[in-house]
């Protein structure tokens, strides 16, 4: 599921229509619904789950008005400390909430942090906040009746931490704890849950004062997708590893590898890092605390993009007479004579023919005999090149086969294919006898281009060219003549690379002479002549890659 550059209002209404929900919009959220959103959901989800997930991401909730109508309004959240309440009191609070919240509300109890979380419409949360406070005060007052206060009362307190991990915080407290002190670690919230006397709890507050935050909201992990430029997900994960917190979780899609490191002692916990691989978008999905996310964005901004980097590939496929190739400024002979390569090789070479001094000649060998040759035209030379091509095309010296344009994601293969399907006859055995059957084979001109954007803004093109043409006719159909070559070149953004090296010869015989006499066997040599013309036709492909900026 993908929405790119779409208003939130459009997304909500479209999904509501798919899940067949009648919705009304709260007038107070009109400004929020004008927000442009970019949503990419790759994991299989039901439309209903995706609808609720998107609403939650933007702080909204669908509250049922009746059986058929839902109201889209702003959501609210409520966090209640239940550390001083017992199980029976908590059950009473849950029953009270069930009677007062909407059918879309969420109620979560965290027994480790002794906290109750409620999510409902903002209007309903405001009502619940006052009601619950009075109800909890009442329960605590009832509990206090008949209980004698002890001078060393034991209490439980949650210490939410920032800029320090829970292990380091525990070491700071070590000189002050007693044998009766109970410390529970909550890595997800980077918190310590400590049960001890009131006096010691106050001491712990003094020791950890500069590292404390008042609520888990400030340390609630968030999830963001980072689309990467220039590097792979595996390389990016290694770079951010020293910055990630204990709550950090990296998802990149694909096969999962789990590494577990088991610590020693009573408080030791297993530490897991999940790092699957998402090649489709060269991206990572990172879950961590907000300040960690911002720190990663700041330090590695040159490698991070808000949307997947894309490359536009413009191709122009031409059949060109051999003599025209040199007139276009392409001289394969000069290129090869200057290249310092070994005596025996297959493939071709690349050269930069930009404006000004010519660049160094770089051999680019392929595994296919016959080779592929490449030239590069800089941006400034393209207008003159296009004018020449148009002029030669009008003179009939150039034949334009195709002029496709395709956009692909950085690191993803783009395929440009043009051709025909050739019928040929086969035999199928049916009922003990052979029955003729017609099948088809492709005879195509196919260009595969894999663009990779480098850190300096240039583009590496991994190209493979395949040409299949009908050959000699046989009783069952024509043969297919195949030519296939590949190369890798680096070009500047917007420059044009020219691929050549596939040549066909066109043979043409002509007879001229005096009418009638040229048909007489002996006289035809006196009154006529025969000539044979061989014309070489080279296939040239002009490719212009351009980076699509955000």
CATH number for the domain that contains residue 249: 3.30.70
Least Cα distance to 401 among 320, 337, 297 occurs for 320
Q: Is residue 389 part of a domain?
A: no
Q: Which residues, at least 6 apart from 268, have a Cβ–Cβ distance to it below 8 Å?
A: 262
43 and 163 share one domain: no
Q: What is the Cα–Cα distance from 322 to 443, expressed in whole angstroms?
A: 24
User: Could you tell me the pTM of the whole model?
Assistant: 0.44
Q: Is residue 41 part of a domain?
A: yes
pLDDT at 339: 35
CATH number for the domain that contains residue 176: 3.30.1370.120
Q: Where are the alpha helices (DSSP H) in 233-381?
A: 233-240, 290-299, 322-327, 332-338
* Segment 24-33, tens digit of pLDDT: 888 888 888 8
Residue that has been written with the tokens 């949503």 in this structure: 39
The DSSP call for residue 481 is E
138 and 179 share one domain: no
241 and 198 share one domain: no
473 and 498 share one domain: yes
pLDDT at 269: 38
Q: What is the Cα–Cα distance from 479 to 468, expressed in whole angstroms?
A: 10
489 and 436 share one domain: yes
403 and 520 share one domain: yes
Question: With a cut of 50, which residues of the chain have pLDDT below it?
Answer: 146-150, 253-277, 333-372
Q: Is residue 367 part of a domain?
A: no
The token duo for 230 is 């220039």
Q: What is the Cα–Cα distance from 215 to 57, expressed in whole angstroms?
A: 20
455 and 540 share one domain: yes
Q: Is residue 174 part of a domain?
A: yes
Q: Is residue 347 part of a domain?
A: no
Backbone dihedral region of 295: left (phi > 0), alpha (psi from -120 to 50 degrees) or beta?
Answer: alpha
The token duo for 544 is 């212009």
Of 74, 103, 132, which one is at a domain's C-terminal end? 74
Q: Is residue 365 part of a domain?
A: no
pLDDT at 520: 63
81 and 173 share one domain: no
174 and 234 share one domain: no
Strand partners, 80: 116
pLDDT at 105: 85
Question: What is the domain extent for residue 30?
Answer: 2-74
pLDDT at 250: 63
- Contacts by 504-510, CB closer than 8 A, 24 or more apart: 504/469, 504/536, 504/537, 504/539, 505/534, 505/535, 505/536, 505/537, 506/534, 506/535, 506/536, 506/537, 507/532, 507/533, 507/534, 508/532, 508/533, 508/534, 508/535, 509/533
Of 122, 145, 168, which one is at a domain's C-terminal end? 145
The DSSP call for residue 352 is B
169 and 130 share one domain: no
Q: Is residue 369 part of a domain?
A: no
Of 308, 323, 354, which one is at a domain's C-terminal end? 308
- The dihedral built from the CA positions of residue 214, 217, 223 and 229, taken in this order, carries a sign that is negative
Q: Measure CA of the first residue to CA of the last residue in the chain; give whole Å.
A: 21
Q: Is residue 175 part of a domain?
A: yes
CATH number for the domain that contains residue 27: 3.55.50.30
175 and 50 share one domain: no
* Segment 159-211, tens digit of pLDDT: 988 878 888 899 999 999 888 888 988 876 778 899 988 888 999 999 998 88
541 and 416 share one domain: yes
Q: What domain count does the chain have? A: 5
Least Cα distance to 319 among 504, 60, 114, 518 occurs for 504
């Amino acid at each position: 599921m993908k929405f790119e550059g779409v208003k939130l209002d459009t997304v909500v209404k479209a999904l509501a229509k798919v899940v067949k929900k009648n919705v009304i919009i709260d007038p107070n959220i009109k400004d929020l619904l004008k927000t442009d959103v970019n949503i990419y959901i790759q994991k299989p989800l039901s439309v209903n789950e995706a609808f609720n997930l998107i609403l939650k991401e933007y702080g909204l909730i669908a509250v049922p008005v009746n059986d058929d109508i839902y109201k889209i309004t702003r959501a609210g959240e409520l966090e209640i400390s239940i550390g001083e309440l017992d199980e029976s009191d908590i059950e009473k609070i849950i029953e009270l909430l069930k009677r007062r919240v909407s059918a879309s509300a969420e109620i979560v109890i965290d027994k480790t942090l002794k906290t109750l979380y409620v999510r409902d419409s903002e209007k309903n949360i405001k009502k619940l906040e006052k009601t619950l406070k009075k109800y909890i005060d009442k329960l605590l007052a009832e509990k206090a009746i008949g209980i004698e206060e002890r001078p060393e009362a034991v209490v439980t307190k949650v210490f939410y931490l920032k800029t320090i991990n829970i292990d380091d915080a525990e070491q700071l407290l070590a000189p002050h704890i007693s044998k009766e002190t109970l410390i529970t670690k909550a890595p997800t919230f980077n918190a310590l849950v400590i049960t001890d006397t009131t006096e010691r709890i106050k001491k712990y507050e003094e020791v950890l004062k500069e590292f404390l935050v008042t609520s888990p909201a400030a340390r609630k992990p968030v999830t963001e997708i980072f689309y990467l430029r220039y590097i792979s997900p595996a390389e990016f994960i290694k770079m951010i590893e020293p910055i990630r917190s204990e709550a950090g979780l990296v998802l990149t899609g694909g096969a999962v590898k789990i590494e577990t490191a088991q610590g020693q002692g009573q408080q030791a916990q297993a530490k897991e890092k999940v790092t699957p691989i998402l090649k489709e978008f060269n991206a990572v999905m990172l879950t961590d605390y907000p300040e960690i996310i911002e720190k990663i964005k700041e330090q590695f901004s040159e490698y991070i993009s808000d949307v997947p980097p894309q490359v536009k590939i413009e191709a122009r496929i031409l059949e060109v007479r051999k003599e025209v190739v040199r007139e276009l400024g392409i001289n394969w002979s000069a290129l090869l004579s200057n290249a310092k390569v070994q005596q025996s090789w297959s493939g071709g070479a690349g050269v930069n023919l930009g404006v000004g001094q010519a660049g160094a000649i770089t051999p680019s060998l392929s595994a296919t005999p016959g080779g592929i040759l490449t030239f590069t035209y800089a941006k400034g030379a393209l207008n003159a090149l296009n004018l020449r091509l148009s002029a030669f095309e009008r003179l009939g010296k150039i034949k334009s086969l195709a002029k496709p344009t395709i956009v692909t994601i950085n690191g993803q293969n783009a395929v440009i294919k043009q051709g025909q399907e050739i019928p040929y006859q086969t035999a199928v055995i049916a009922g003990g006898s052979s029955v003729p059957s017609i099948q088809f084979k492709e005879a195509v001109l196919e260009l595969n281009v894999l663009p990779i954007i480098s850190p300096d803004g240039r583009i590496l093109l991994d190209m493979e060219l395949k040409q299949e043409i009908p050959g000699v006719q046989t009783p069952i159909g024509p043969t297919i003549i195949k030519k296939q070559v590949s190369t890798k070149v680096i070009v500047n953004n917007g420059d044009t690379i020219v691929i050549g090296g596939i040549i066909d010869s066109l043979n043409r015989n002509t007879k001229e002479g005096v009418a009638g006499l040229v048909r007489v066997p002996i006289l035809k040599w006196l009154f006529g002549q025969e000539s044979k013309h061989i014309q070489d036709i080279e296939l040239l492909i002009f490719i212009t890659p351009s980076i699509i900026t955000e």
